[in-house]
């Protein structure tokens, strides 16, 4: 995972932020994370999370809401959160399925 942490205050909270995002079935893993401190000691969290290849877009949207709620409960100093989802496929897969390149939607 790539992580960018802006200062000591953000650095102290980063492990709790990571745990809150990854501690559930909603995401496979955290791919990128940025944590920075805003005025008043509040945190801005931005990240990119891996989601399974076969998960419908409507489920991904609900899952991001769940992760956001869990993060805000675990780290009350989070003022803003921006989490995007990326369909993740193990790069060691010899022949990825078509769904690895085309996102199907049932919406």
CA 107, CA 102: separation in Å to the nearest integer?
A: 15
How confident is the model at residue 102, as a pLDDT? 65
CA proximity to 42, closest of 21, 70, 17, 61: 17
Q: Which CATH class is domain 2-100?
A: alpha beta
pLDDT digits (tens, 9 = 90+) for 20-59: 999 999 988 899 999 999 989 899 999 999 888 778 888 9
CA 15, CA 13: separation in Å to the nearest integer?
A: 6
Domain residue ranges in the chain: 2-100
Sheet holding 78-87, edge to edge: 2-5, 29-37, 43-51, 78-87
- Looking at per-residue pLDDT, the higher value among 17 and 92 belongs to 17
How confident is the model at residue 93, as a pLDDT? 64
CA 98, CA 96: separation in Å to the nearest integer?
A: 7
pLDDT digits (tens, 9 = 90+) for 49-91: 988 877 888 899 999 999 999 999 999 999 999 999 988 776 6
How confident is the model at residue 65, as a pLDDT? 94
Number of neighbouring beta carbons within 10 Å of residue 6: 15
DSSP lists the bridge partners of residue 2 as: 32
8 pLDDT more than 90: no
How confident is the model at residue 67, as a pLDDT? 94
| Structural contact between residues 34 and 46, judged by C-beta atoms closer than 8 angstroms | yes
CA 44, CA 82: separation in Å to the nearest integer?
A: 8
pTM tops 0.85: no
């Amino acid at each position: 995972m790539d992580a960018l942490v802006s200062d000591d205050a953000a650095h102290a909270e980063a492990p709790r932020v990571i745990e809150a995002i990854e501690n559930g079935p909603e995401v496979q893993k955290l791919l990128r994370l940025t944590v920075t401190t805003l005025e008043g000691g509040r945190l801005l969290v931005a990240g990119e999370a891996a989601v399974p290849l076969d998960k419908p877009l409507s489920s991904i949207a609900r899952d991001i809401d769940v992760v956001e709620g869990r993060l805000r409960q675990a780290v009350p100093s989070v003022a803003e959160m921006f989490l995007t989802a990326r369909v993740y496929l193990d790069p060691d897969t010899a022949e990825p399925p078509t769904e690895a390149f085309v996102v199907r939607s049932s919406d």
